[in-house]
Chain A
Amino acid sequence: MKHMSKLALATLLSSTMLTGVAIAESHVPEGVTLAEDQTFTYRQLDEFSSLDPQIVEDVDGSDVVRDLFEGLMNQDAEGNLVPGVATGYEASEDKMTYTFTLREDAKWSNGDPVTAGDFVYAWRRAADPETASPYQWFMELMSIENAAEIVAGEADPETLGVTAVDDYTLVVKLTAPLPYFPQMTTHSTTFPSPQAVIEEFGADWTKPENMVSNGAYVLEEHLPGERSVRVRNEMYWDNANTIIDRVVALVINDENVALTRYLADELDRTDIPAGQYPRLSEEYPDEAVSFPRLCNYYYTFNVSDSGPEAFKDVNVRKALALAVDRDIIAEKVMQGGQPPAYTFTPAAVAGFEPPALDWAGMDQAERDQMAKDLLAEAGYGPDNPLSFEMVYNTSDAHEKVAVALSQLWKQKLGVEATLANMEWKVFLEERGNQNFEMARGAWCGDYNEASTFLDLLDSASGYNDGKYSNERVDELLEQAKTSDDTGPLYAEVEQILYDEMPVIPIYHYAGVYMLDGDLGGWPVDNVEQNWYSKDLYKIVE
């Protein structure tokens, strides 16, 4: 008997070890030798606002939280959904109810099991006005039953449409059959949080000595404004397949200093300052990378009553949009591989097929000719020149683009555009109150679906600062929220946006990074840049 159990144990051990190794190497290509020191060091722009998953609102903070906590679903290197704490989910026939099945081996860093109740607690907490999360609206955006009422203080947080049927079954009830609902469970607002710890320590629960988390890493050290360090969570269910041991995030505000420190081998990843990509990609062809991101960059006309009379004429708007030589902006100004934009939605968005719009197919000379004709038709010319003011928030890169735009308009159309820059909060205030003629805008998608962009031009959108309003657009966007086949709907919206030109798309963002040659697994194909340190690895040099 004793003999038997020993044998069984040995078999068990060797088989787990075998599977462990096999999977561990699954995200490392064959022939790659891993380095002894598995430390990943990267630059973050600013001190993060919070490490509380329900409260964090900035990109830097979300990157850390995504390592410390794990939600229902994760993303793989291409941005596809893969199991996280949930092994999978089932949607009801009407797509109004989702049932997630949770894995039973998921644990918190203190050894407690991660249960459906932890998600219920976290989601109620996110919607609860008491928590005062700046991301409360995300629960509304997810269309969870009663979320809007709870945020407005009209319903109790307990009434949120999310229930733990048992420890490993989570049921979510929606108010609309959102086709992209599962994608939203990769967002940090939806990560579980440890009730007992939060109740014990209050706002101090995110301090390294108090924090309990369920992701692949735990917080070891946090020195605000200097650095934060996370190390492996031994309790993580997939710890055997995690390769990076230690992740160091250094706060370096100035991107040129960050680049210098990268070149001095202090960092494995940093951003490339605007205009330096061509030089760096020549000097370091294996390290300088550029890939499309899920963000757009545009100028919006103020078409509200407070806007200039000229911009109420579609010919004027179209003429200005056509005369922008996007190749010059992308190749001579930004110089980082940014794709020129002829649609509001970036082509990189999943499931979005940019419609064949006239101007995308023309060459710039044709566009310029069309622009001149349209402007003349609108009654502007040498004896009645068009002039307006364009505002942007203070930044070198924005200034370069604004200068280039005003030059292009002046040369080609004789238009006088004056430039005005403003400090960020002043800019938001002025733009939000329609106190402008033309203003810079940019948006990064909250999730990988076209509506995260196009919704901005819905008449009811709080971000629609130009106050563009088109009933057909509103109608199409409403339909898209519940449609199975959104492609034609979004294509029609883009066609209307081209015909009416309420905004001038300039370019779509590119992620322009220096990535150390010995860093493997960086998800350049994940357009949202939701990266997980557990999927990275360091190669021996």
Chain B
Amino acid sequence: MVSYIIRRLLIAIPTILILIVASFFLIQYAPGGPFTSERPLPPAVLANLEARYGLDQPLWKQLWDYLTNIVLHFDFGPSFKFKDRDVNDIIAQGFPISLTYGSLAFIAATVVGVGLGVAAAIRHNSWIDYAAVSMGIGAQALPNFIMGPILILVFTLWLGWLPGGGWNGGQWQYLIMPVIALSTSYMGNIARLTRSSMLEVLNSNFIRTARAKGLPTRTVIWRHAMKPTLLPVVSYLGPVFVYVLTGSVFVDLYFSTGGLGAAYVGSALTRDYAVLLGVTILYGTLTVLVNLLTDLAYAWFDPKIRY
């Protein structure tokens, strides 16, 4: 197991390196640059700006400097757009925010989604099932960019219960709407997955055996059916965790949370190469780690899997 983890982490290094190099060149390929503006800068001014950010160097040199700065100083360079801040600054400020509401949304989606799915499967074809399925489908049909404005309209304008946006250091009033907006569609998916997976498991031979032994339903569900039911759900949860962090751009845009999602998309639109690359590396690394965790979780859920 330990040697497996070490092996996976070692493989992660070239993976991330390939990600950096590929992103580096792809970004250059996009039309326009960080200093393309409505009023084209006079050539002398453009030259000064490019010199300041090292863009006057050949591409291989830029890439080399970028990599050595990361390895030697853990420095991801200055932002081309936010001229008072560097990439480390931007990530240090935005990532904890994204991570906070992202994790909460992830937990909410998982707990409620699994709960709904299990309830629906156990009471198959009852009103609970129908209610859970409709809720699941409804939630799935409400992506966060639709939920956002609706929530603000209802809770801020009509009811006046919650502030319409902001973060305020993560105070609970400011967390509710972002977490709901971000979690609903995943919640629906998880509920649907859990329900069908559990229905399948409940019809399998070992469950029939367990029931035949006379075990109480609760034990059958929790001890025997739960783990195999969650196996497909877990493989879905890995990417979902990364999605709730990267897909948080709408949350940042609608709720002014100041997270990394808006900064990420903004950097792509303004060709802020350094920020775009920095956040890509962060999310890439995160994806690699989450995939590893998912694989390890498999072993726990399915005794047949051994590393």
Chain A residues close to B by CB (< 8 Å): 46-47, 49-52, 55, 57, 129-130, 132, 134, 136-137, 140, 148, 151-153, 203-204, 206-207, 223-227, 250-254, 256-257, 260-261, 263-264, 266, 423-426, 428-430, 432, 443, 462-463
Contact = CB atoms under 8 A, between A and B. Distances in A.
Given A130-B52, A203-B78, 6 more contacts: A134-B45, A136-B44, A152-B44, A261-B164, A428-B38, A463-B40
B258 A137 contact: no
Contacts of A134: 35, 37, 41, 45, 49
A257 B149 contact: yes
20 contacts: A47-B266, A50-B83, A51-B84, A129-B48, A134-B35, A151-B48, A153-B44, A203-B78, A206-B84, A250-B256, A251-B258, A253-B254, A254-B254, A257-B152, A257-B254, A264-B156, A425-B30, A425-B270, A430-B31, A432-B40
Contacts of A226: 166-167, 256-258
Q: Which 7 residue pairs are nearest across A and B when measured between Cβ atoms? A: A425-B32, A132-B52, A225-B258, A226-B258, A261-B164, A462-B40, A129-B48
Nearest to B174: A226
Contacts of A203: 78, 83-86
A254 to B, nearest CB: 6
Contacts, number: 147
B31 A425 contact: yes
B85 A224 contact: yes
A134 B258 CA distance: 25
A225 B82 contact: no
B259 interface: yes
Q: Report, as a range, how many residues of chain B touch the other chain.
A: 35 or more
> Which of B40, B45, B166 counts the most A-chain CB atoms under 10 A from its CB?
B45
Contacts of A137: 41-42, 45
A429 B35 CA distance: 11
Nearest to B158: A264
B107 interface: no
A227 B48 contact: no
Nearest to A250: B256
A49 B82 contact: yes
B223 interface: no
B84 A251 contact: no
A153 B48 CA distance: 9
Given A225-B256, A266-B164, A462 B39 contact: yes
A253 B262 contact: yes
A137 B41 CA distance: 8
B83 A55 contact: yes
A195 to B, nearest CB: 17
B13 interface: no
Contact of B257 (A130, A225, A430, A462): A225
Contacts of B204: none
Given A134-B49, A224-B258, A264 B31 contact: no
A260 B157 CA distance: 7
A428 B36 contact: yes
> Which of A50, A134, A263, A428 counts the most B-chain CB atoms under 10 A from its CB?
A134
A227 B253 CA distance: 13
Nearest to B45: A136
B178 interface: no
B264 to A, nearest CB: 11
A224 B152 contact: no
Contacts of A50: 82-84
A425 B271 contact: yes
A224 B40 contact: no
B167 A250 contact: no
A224 B81 contact: no
Contacts of A423: 269
Contact of A52 (B84, B93, B152, B156): B84
A203 B52 CA distance: 13
A140 B266 CA distance: 30
